[in-house]
Amino acid sequence: MALLDYHRIVINQKAKLIELTNEYRIRDEQGSDIGVIRQEGQSGLKKVARFVTSLDQFMTHRLAAYDASGTRVLELVRPRKIVKSSVEVYDGVGALAGTIRQQNVFGKIRFGLHDAAGRRLGEIRAENWRAWNFAIVNEQGTEVGRITKTWEGLAKTLFTTADDYLLDISPTLTGPLRLLAFASAVGVDTALKQDARGLG
C-alpha cells in the first residue's frame, strides 16, 4: 500500500538528548515501519544557533516524508514565524499542495487548511487549549480526520513516548485535502513545538 493511502498511522518523534534535527517514524497499526519524516537542509551554523539560542521559531524548518522504499512523498516547509505559524505542504515532486495556517494564538488553537490557490478546504481544531487532540474537518465542518494522543483499540506497545500520536484519516478523503490531512500531524507539531505556551 502506498504511504499516503493509509487511513491510520502512528507517528513517533525520535527522542534526542538535544533536539537539533527533527525526525519522525511512521508506523502502521501493527507497528511496522512504513515511512520516515526527517528535517533537511540545516547548515552547521543553524544547528549551532538552535543549540545556543532560543531563536528556533524565527528559523525556517523543512521536513520531508519518505515511504519505506525511500521515495519522497511529501514535503513540509514552516517559514520563520513571529506570532502565528504557517506550514507549506508540497507533494512528492515539489508542487505546492496547500498550506496549514494558524488562525489564533489564545484559546483553542485552530489551523486553516488551504489549497495551492489559497481557497479554504477545511480546518484543524484543537479540542481544548492544553490537550494534544485535534479534529480535522472539511469546509462543511464534517470531521474527516483526527490527531490524538489516545489510542483505544491499538496495542499500547506501539506508543513509546509522549511524542507518539495517532493520525486517522477518512478512507473517502481524496485530493489536496487528503495530502494536507496527512501532513497535519507533523505540521501542527512543527508549527507549535517552539510555542512557549505549549500544548501539554
| Threshold 0.75, pTM exceeds | yes
Cell reading at 199: 500544548
The 3-state DSSP class for residue 191 equals: helix
Put residue 134 in one of left, alpha, beta given phi > 0 → left and psi -120 to 50 → alpha.
beta
pLDDT of 59 higher than 60: no
Q: State how far Cα 38 lies from the chain centre.
A: 12
Proportion of the chain above pLDDT 70, given as a percent: 72
- Structural domains present in the chain: 3-192 (2.40.160.200)
DSSP strand pairing (86-91 vs 143-148) = unpaired
Who wins on pLDDT, 107 or 88?
88
List, as one string, the DSSP characters of 93-125: TS-EEEEEEE--SSSS-EEEEEETTS-EEEEEE
Calculate ∠ Cα 193-198-200, nearest 5°.
Answer: 110
Proportion of the chain above pLDDT 90, given as a percent: 47
Dump pLDDT digits (tens) for 119-175.
999 999 998 766 678 999 999 999 999 998 766 556 666 666 556 889 999 999 999
Among 25-34, 67-76, 91-100, where is mean pLDDT lowest? 25-34
Dump pLDDT digits (tens) for 17-55.
444 567 889 999 888 999 999 888 754 444 444 344 444
The CA-atom distances, in angstroms, between 6 and each of 1, 44, 54, 168 are: 7, 35, 36, 9
CB 110 within 8 A of CB 124: yes
